[in-house]
Structure formats: structure tokens, C-alpha cells
């Protein structure tokens, strides 16, 4: 006997007088139900046509969902009937019912928890917010992976731009989170790869070009020479920025984790936190002069700078990253004051130290050496990064035209 599929409102009423919307599959006079994750008032449902009435604000989206779900279930029933002669209700339920964790937000929560256990504070903080925005776009409803298609993601993109003052880069970051969770679902056999909405001809993930501006040598000199003896913390913030710059734009997270034992035989040895690449650099005299200012400070966990000394366990990666995040905000506020006092019109932040090294190095240093200094895993990353600061060829070409007689 062929299976019958019908969309119905379940008889058990919710406290708000709504009823669960479900697919009912009947085989050999026995029925099984699959809830669609939405609840309706009886007055909003047209039982004869199995459609949500137009009076419901999301009637079009819900009716499209119903059609899509019915088609998916129908395909699976056909597959079952082709594969075996007898199709029971229990077999249908086992085949069609989503596995535990098949919904997007269930797996997204698991991914967030994994990152938290791995100590990735910054990722947890940003990705949680982006997942929350996706849920708000769906009016709080859960969603299965097969429902996340190109039209829906394009609507989400438009929703983000229409409801928040955010850049295209931030929109792309939201899509990357969804893609990451989706890839986990495919790897875990939770969804067929044929539903994957990303890639060629679908949703393309491509970051827009961004402008990277660093300081010029005269501005760095202004930072070095400005008198900050009246404010100990401003002097400290400048020290952190300069150490980062002197070590080829070392990331602030690595600067704050520096230990006295990292300095051996006039070299600084460290492993970059972002990609675990190890190496060493010659310690400039200017860095040694800065370190002398911290020699008499209380020693804890062999750390040089004070930001992480408040933590009892310096190996607790999650809390270390959280403390670094707070510290960077405070340091950046101090750098804004310093830049004003130094007469620098450009924004000065901790990350600008890295851009400044790139800007001043320009095309003076071979790209292979820059890759080593930056600790990039791939030289194409170095080429792409450094191209932001190499302007001589374009400048010469412009001068050649404008200088014509």
C-alpha cells in the first residue's frame, strides 16, 4: 500500500492556544507524525488545502516550507519503497526522523561548546553573536540543514544589511559561521552534501578588499620620543605597541604572553599563538631598553607584562584570551590619547603596529623573509598582505603620465 502524506495541526493544544504544525504519514492504516517546528492558531490554518492562511504574517514562507518538506519526505519514501518490498511505519520513522543534532542550532551550540573547551574565547564571543542574529532572522525557529538554501541565505544577507549598520566583511563573517557548522554536519553524516548551499554558482564566500594603513617612520619617531612620564599607563601602552612593532608586527596576544625565559642569547624565542609556528628573532636594543622598565615589577608565571599576571592559571587558554581581549580595549583607548598628544592624525591601535611594519618595510625586504617574520603558513598570504603597502610601481606610473611635457 502506498504511503499517504498530509499536513495537519496536531490535536494537542499549546498554552497559547496554538497547535503544532506537522506532517502525517500513513502506511497500512498506521500513522506517524513529524513536527515542522511551527505552531498556528486554528483560525490561521486551511485544513482542506493544507495551507497557512494569508492572514498569517509569514504565510508565504511557511507554505513554501510545507511544500519543500512534503517533497523531501516523498523522495525518501520512494527510496524506501525501491530498496525494500515492505515499508512499515517504524521503518519510515527511522529513515525520515532527523537524528539528534541534525538541526542547525543544536549542532551550532555543540560547535560553540567545543571552541569554549579549546579555549577560543574570541571565536566563542563573535560566533555566538552571529548565530544569535541568524536565529533572530528566523523568528526564533529552529531549522534543518537541508532548509538552508541559497535563497534563504540571500535573504539573511539582505536582513543583516537592512537591520544593522554593518560592513560587507561582517556579513561575510556571518555566512562563514553558517558554512563552518554546515561542514561539520556533512562530516558527521547529518545532511547530504547535495544540499550544500556554498560554492561555485551558489553562495560565494569572498572578503572585500580592505584598506590597511600603517604609520610612516616620522610618526613612529613621534611615538618613540613623546614625553609620557606624567602617566605611567600611557607609557606602558606605548611600550607594548613599540615591542610589537620592533618584532615585525608581533600580534598583541603574543606580546602580552611574553616571558623572561623567552629571551636567550640575545634572541627572543616564541611560538605564535594563532598558528603555533615557532621561531626566534634578534632582540633589538630598543626592546632591551623597554624590558628594563619591567625588571623590578612583581614576578608571576615568568610573565614580563602585567596584563596576565592577575590570572592564577596562565595555561587556561579561554580565560587568557578573555583577559587579553579586555586588555586590548584598554590599551587601544590609551593609544588614542597618545596619538593625539603625538600629533598623529591616523588611528593608532595595537593592530596598527603590524600594518606599520608592513608599510615601512614596503618592497625593501624579500617576500620570503617577510613570510618568516610574519610567521605566515603560506607565502601567498604574505604576498597578499604586503601588496597593501607596496605603492612605488603605481606611483611611478602615475608620475610618468602627469609629468609629461
CATH number, domain of 131, equals 1.10.150
Question: Nearest Cα to 105, choosing from 133, 126, 82, 81?
Answer: 133
Mean pLDDT value of segment 336-340:
95
Average pLDDT, the chain: 83
Distances from the Cα of 18 to the Cαs of 14, 271, 307, in angstroms? 5, 57, 54
Please indicate, yes or no, if residue 332 is contained in any of the structural domains: yes
Q: Are residues 188 and 262 in the same domain?
A: no
Mean pLDDT value of segment 79-83:
71
- Owner of C-alpha cell 603620465: 401
In a 3-state reduction of DSSP, which class is residue 228? Answer: coil
Mean pLDDT value of segment 143-165:
90
> Is residue 237 over pLDDT 90?
yes
Q: Are residues 125 and 226 in the same domain?
A: no
The pLDDT value given to residue 288 = 94
Q: Are residues 228 and 247 in the same domain?
A: yes
What distance in Å separates the CA atoms of residue 151 and residue 161, rounded to the nearest whole number? 16
8 A C-beta contact, residue 234 and residue 337 = yes
Q: Are residues 109 and 171 in the same domain?
A: yes
Q: Are residues 260 and 343 in the same domain?
A: yes
User: pLDDT tens digit string along 25-40?
Assistant: 887 778 888 777 778 8
> Is residue 379 over pLDDT 70?
no
Please indicate, yes or no, if residue 261 is contained in any of the structural domains: yes
Cell triple for residue 212? 590597511
Mean pLDDT value of segment 143-153:
90
Of the listed ranges 42-46, 279-283, 287-291, the least confidently predicted one is 279-283
- Owner of C-alpha cell 602627469: 402
Q: Are residues 82 and 148 in the same domain?
A: no
Residue 99's pLDDT band (cuts 50, 70, 90):
very low
Mean pLDDT value of segment 129-136:
93
Q: Rounded to an integer, what is the distance from CA 56 to the centroid of its chain?
A: 35
Please indicate, yes or no, if residue 207 is contained in any of the structural domains: no
Q: 21 burial class (0-12, 13-18, 19+ CB within 10 angstroms)?
A: buried
Please indicate, yes or no, if residue 228 is contained in any of the structural domains: yes
Task: Choose the final residue of a domain: 325, 344, 361.
Answer: 361
Q: Are residues 267 and 351 in the same domain?
A: yes
Please indicate, yes or no, if residue 227 is contained in any of the structural domains: yes
Q: Are residues 295 and 313 in the same domain?
A: yes
> Which carries the bigger pLDDT value, residue 326 or residue 386?
326
Which domain, by its residues, includes 73? 4-96
The pLDDT value given to residue 187 = 87
Strands (E), 173-331: 263-264, 267-271, 278-282
The pLDDT value given to residue 396 = 58
In a 3-state reduction of DSSP, which class is residue 360? Answer: helix
Q: Are residues 289 and 315 in the same domain?
A: yes
Question: Nearest Cα to 376, choosing from 358, 359, 364, 352?
Answer: 358
Task: Choose the final residue of a domain: 195, 225, 259.
Answer: 195
8 A C-beta contact, residue 44 and residue 62 = no
Residue 149's pLDDT band (cuts 50, 70, 90):
very high
> Which carries the bigger pLDDT value, residue 103 or residue 89?
103
The pLDDT value given to residue 129 = 94
Please indicate, yes or no, if residue 323 is contained in any of the structural domains: yes
8 A C-beta contact, residue 358 and residue 214 = yes
Q: Are residues 120 and 71 in the same domain?
A: no
Neighbours of 100 (CB within 10 A): 8
Please indicate, yes or no, if residue 381 is contained in any of the structural domains: no
User: pLDDT tens digit string along 357-368?
Assistant: 877 776 666 666
Mean pLDDT value of segment 115-128:
88
Task: Choose the final residue of a domain: 62, 96, 130.
Answer: 96
Q: Are residues 233 and 335 in the same domain?
A: yes
Q: Are residues 23 and 128 in the same domain?
A: no
Instruction: Tell me how many domains the chain contains.
Output: 3
CATH number for position 246 = 1.10.443.10
What distance in Å separates the CA atoms of residue 22 and residue 259, rounded to the nearest whole number? 60
Q: Rounded to an integer, what is the distance from CA 394 to the centroid of its chain?
A: 34
Please indicate, yes or no, if residue 392 is contained in any of the structural domains: no
Amino acid at each position: 500500500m502506498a504511503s499517504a502524506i498530509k499536513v495537519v495541526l496536531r490535536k494537542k493544544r499549546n498554552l497559547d492556544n496554538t497547535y503544532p504544525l506537522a506532517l502525517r504519514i500513513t502506511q497500512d492504516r498506521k500513522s506517524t507524525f513529524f513536527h515542522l517546528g511551527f505552531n498556528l492558531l486554528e483560525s490561521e490554518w486551511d485544513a482542506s488545502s493544507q495551507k497557512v492562511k494569508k492572514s498569517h504574517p509569514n504565510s508565504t514562507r511557511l507554505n513554501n516550507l510545507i511544500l519543500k518538506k512534503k517533497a523531501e519526505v516523498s523522495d525518501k519514501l520512494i527510496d524506501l519503497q525501491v530498496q525494500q518490498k515492505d515499508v512499515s511505519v517504524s521503518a519510515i520513522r527511522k529513515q525520515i526522523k532527523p537524528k539528534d543534532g541534525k538541526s542547525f542550532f543544536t549542532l551550532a551550540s555543540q560547535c560553540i561548546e567545543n571552541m569554549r573547551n579549546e579555549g577560543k574565547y574570541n571565536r566563542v564571543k563573535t560566533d555566538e553573536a552571529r548565530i544569535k542574529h541568524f536565529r533572530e532572522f528566523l523568528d526564533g525557529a529552529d531549522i534543518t540543514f537541508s532548509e538552508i538554501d541559497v535563497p534563504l541565505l540571500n535573504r539573511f544577507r539582505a536582513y543583516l544589511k537592512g537591520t544593522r549598520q554593518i560592513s560587507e566583511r561582517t556579513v561575510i563573517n556571518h555566512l562563514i559561521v553558517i558554512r563552518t557548522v554546515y561542514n561539520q554536519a556533512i562530516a558527521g553524516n547529518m545532511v547530504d552534501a547535495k544540499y550544500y548551499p556554498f560554492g561555485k554558482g551558489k553562495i560565494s564566500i569572498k572578503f572585500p578588499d580592505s584598506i590597511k594603513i600603517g604609520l610612516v617612520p616620522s610618526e613612529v619617531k613621534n611615538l618613540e620620543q613623546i614625553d609620557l612620564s606624567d602617566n605611567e599607563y600611557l607609557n606602558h601602552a606605548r611600550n607594548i605597541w613599540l615591542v610589537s612593532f620592533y618584532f615585525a608586527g608581533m600580534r598583541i596576544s603574543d606580546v602580552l604572553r611574553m616571558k623572561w625565559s623567552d629571551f636567550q642569547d640575545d634572541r627572543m624565542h616564541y611560538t605564535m599563538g594563532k598558528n603555533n609556528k615557532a621561531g626566534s628573532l634578534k632582540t633589538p636594543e630598543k626592546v632591551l631598553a623597554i624590558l628594563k622598565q619591567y625588571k623590578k615589577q612583581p614576578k608571576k608565571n615568568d610573565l614580563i607584562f602585567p596584563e596576565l599576571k592577575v590570572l592564577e592559571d596562565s595555561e587556561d587558554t579561554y580565560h587568557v584570551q578573555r583577559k587579553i581581549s579586555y586588555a586590548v580595549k584598554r590599551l587601544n583607548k590609551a593609544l588614542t590619547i597618545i596619538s593625539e598628544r603625538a600629533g598623529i592624525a591616523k588611528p593608532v591601535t595595537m593592530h596598527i603596529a603590524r600594518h606599520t611594519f608592513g608599510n615601512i618595510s614596503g618592497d625593501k625586504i624579500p617576500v620570503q623573509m617577510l613570510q618568516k617574520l610574519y610567521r605566515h603558513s603560506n607565502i601567498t598570504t604574505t604576498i597578499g598582505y604586503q601588496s597593501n603597502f607596496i605603492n612605488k610601481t603605481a606611483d611611478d606610473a602615475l608620475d610618468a603620465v602627469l609629468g609629461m611635457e
